[in-house]
Amino acid sequence: MWLCNSSIGRKVVMSVTGMALILFLTFHGCMNVVALFSAKGYNMICEFLGANWYAVVATIGLAALALIHIVYAFWLTIQNRKARGNNRYEVTEKPGKVEWASQNMLVLGIIILLGILLHLFNFWYNMMFAELFPSIHYDSAPADGFGKIVNTFTNPVYVVLYIIWIIALWFHLVHGFWSAIQTIGWSGHIWFNRWRVIGIIYVTLLMLMFLAVIIGFATGLAPSLQDACGGACCGGAEEMCGGMPECAGH
């Protein structure tokens, strides 16, 4: 099959899956920004996106996209190494027009993969997984996404790890954005530099949304658990607090 046997085909698969993942990150980033303004609003989104059939299907689809993207990335890397043969060990001058991210996509990809695993452990495991398997004991209610954000980003170790992850994502996506556009043939001679600028602006704004959430909760500028308790539990909607300890006495 052309998409598997051809180098160009594999690059097309990488481009399409990469653009799909960027769209997911856009949705995810917009969703997370809600937590900066309303704990109750964010938990309402988490409850809506619980372990319903459409959420499970979307999760499986997203996992498949990510897995295909990662497998094809390693496949292309191995293919490029084989094509260079013993020449890959020679010390050569790096071309001036080749970006740093382009030369280190594998390293960036490994950092991003580790970040994804950390993120799945911090959030997905205690949210959707908790709804799928409610008999297992978890630290709080599945819909308490706000509480998990607070608990994660008030831990300085997690803050540093997530910031490193976001930086790696920025380099990876900035290069991947215009590279994907070029691979699928949307960048002519005039639009090549335009797409690069569009990609840099778009990815930068996207990563800033994630950083705003991390830094907002790490510095205490975002709503606290007490604010969430006062706005939800104490107002009579105890289920939205997901068992926050601050609400225990109300």
Predicted confidence (pLDDT) per residue in 74-116, tens digit: 777 777 777 666 554 444 444 444 466 667 777 888 898 899 9
Give Cα separations from 103 to 30, 37, 77 (angstroms): 31, 39, 11
Smallest CA-to-CA distance from 225 within 174, 171, 149 is with: 149
Q: What is the CATH number of the domain that holds 134?
A: 1.20.1300
* Burial of 212 per CB tally in 10 Å (0-12, 13-18, 19+): middle
Per residue in 34-71, pLDDT tens? 999 988 888 888 888 776 777 778 878 888 888 888 88
Identify the band that residue 129 occupies on the pLDDT scale cut at 50, 70 and 90: low
Round the average pLDDT of the chain to a whole number and report it: 76
| Joined tokens for residue 51 | 């372990």
- CA–CA separation, 211 and 221 (whole Å): 13
The token pair at 21 is 């993942």
Q: Using an 8 Å Cβ cutoff, are 19 and 178 in contact?
A: no
What is the span of the domain harbouring residue 60?
2-85+99-241
Of residues 236, 245, 165, 225, the one with CA closest to residue 42: 225
Whether the per-residue pLDDT at 140 is higher than 80: the answer is no
**Tokens describing residue 14:** 């990488």
Residue 221: the pLDDT is 81
Tally of domains in the chain: 1
Burial of 222 (0-12, 13-18, 19+ CB in 10 A): buried
What pLDDT does 17 receive? 86
Question: Rounded to a whole number, what is the distance in angstroms from the first to the last CA of the chain?
Answer: 62
33, pLDDT greater than 90: yes
Query: Which of 4-13, 141-150, 204-213, 230-239 has the highest mean predicted lDDT (pLDDT)?
Result: 204-213
Residue 126, domain member (yes or no): yes
